[in-house]
Amino acid sequence: MTRPERIRSLGRTARIAAAVAAMGAIVFAGAAPAHADTVRDYEYWLGDYGFTTAWNTSRGEGVTVAVIDTGVNGNVAELRGVVTGGTDVSGLGTPDGQTPVGDPDDSAHGTMVASLLAGRGTGEGSGVIGVAPEAELLAVSVAFGQDTGAEKTNDEQIAEGVRWAVDNGADVINMSLTRNTRDWPESWDDAFTYAFENDVVVVAAAGNRGSGTSEVGAPATIPGVLTVAGVDKEKNASFDASSQGISIAVAAPSEDLVGVQPDGRVAIWSGTSGAAPLVSGLVALVRSEYPELDAADVIERVTQTADPNGHEVPSPLYGYGLIDPVAALESEVDPAEVTPLELLTDWITLHRRATSDTPAPSAETPEIVPIADPPLPEDDATNTLLPTPWTLAYITVPLSLVAGFGTIGALLGIGATRHLRRTVRNREQ
């Protein structure tokens, strides 16, 4: 992969680009196999990670997941009846959040995220099916960087979207986006605190290294958020499609993912934008099976049953390891020692105090600007959705930026505290 989030458009059943080798692209054509169509065959994570087995226990019924993104077209075949509510906080979409907003090349993002999370296929064994196929979705459309004609920044839209999702019954919030800085505005303090006070699990993508990025940005740096890193098909940290950082909780597939675009076409996609909804779907499975568990204990189930896969964890690449849906649903897991609300409250106390004691930056402080993707090779014939400079600033292509030392110190302190608690508990056992 030469891009952090590459999307190759595919015919629904006519053809799929399978691989690019010395001989060129391998293309499948003709009728689909009797047991499943080609699209379903490409969803390797369903079998490789045990989702199909986990479905014998839970399919996400009764759980509502809010997708804060570019909007979700609930009229595509895989998502009919899945989107049960929504809103547009940008002023550019429709009130139900189901009209994708943004440039045509960018607006597909939310629908693809939704299909990976809760798609229901197009029939028996055909079409894209999400990892939580009986969960319901709320669509919250955001205009990433666009002029909305009103004095509402992207930061304010995100805060408003989080609050709306909480007020409208979200059990989980999926955020396949980034602010491109480790820190975040105080309006997010209030919004995420509100989510945690109301027992909502917030899942965020770590970001993609493909553009030269090495570390995560907010909301993936917010204490209490379940941050998702990406791995390739061999279950190794993805060089192109995953950033790293001490806030990472678990890892999930982020390469060669299959999603549905707003026009109904299917595309192969890479990036932690796609890994995040796989984890949000897993959270939905757990919340459905264990409705009595609070958000902290749900997160504990997902993280403590993760598979280290031979790596020392927790780590800035894998967190506690690869998600394991079957173990998350069936294992005995001790209660969590700390809640997302406690983590965020502690951080706010430390960080905001540090910020108030730090002199204001000089006028020479460099402006934070998005960095463009590297160009595609001239002979690349694939059909890609090219990020604009504004979506680079907000949709899972984080920049490697240095935030204030107070922020870094606070994050390191909280990360170390969690690690120490885990270590002490493990030794006692």
Enter the tokens of residue 158: 């995100």
Here the tokens at position 66 are 């809010």
Q: Is 69 among the catalytic positions?
A: yes
- Catalytic-labelled residue, pool 37, 58, 69, 256: 69
User: In sequence order, which residues have a C-beta less than 8 Å from that of residue 410 and are 6 or more positions away?
Assistant: 347, 350, 351, 354
Name which of 423, 406, 415, 61 is nearest 225 in CA terms: 415
User: Cis before residue 100, ω within 30 degrees of 0?
Assistant: no
Q: How far is residue 346's CA from residue 339's CA, in Å, rounded to a whole number? A: 11
Determine whether 35 is an active site residue.
no
Residue of 126, 254, 273, 288 marked active site: 273
Whether 48 is catalytic: no
Instruction: Say if residues 287 and 196 touch (Cβ distance below 8 Å).
Output: no
Burial of 290 (C-beta count, 10 Å sphere; 0-12/13-18/19+): middle
Sheet of 266-269, strands arranged across:
7-10, 266-269, 257-260
Q: In whole angstroms, what is the distance from residue 340 CA to residue 421 CA?
A: 15
Active-site pick, 109, 183, 232, 324? 109
- How far apart are alpha carbons 66 and 83 in whole angstroms? 9
Q: Which of 351, 99, 104 is nearest to 223 (CA)?
A: 351
Q: How far is the C-alpha of 150 from the C-alpha of 412, rounded, in Å?
A: 37
Q: Which residues are catalytic?
A: 69, 109, 273
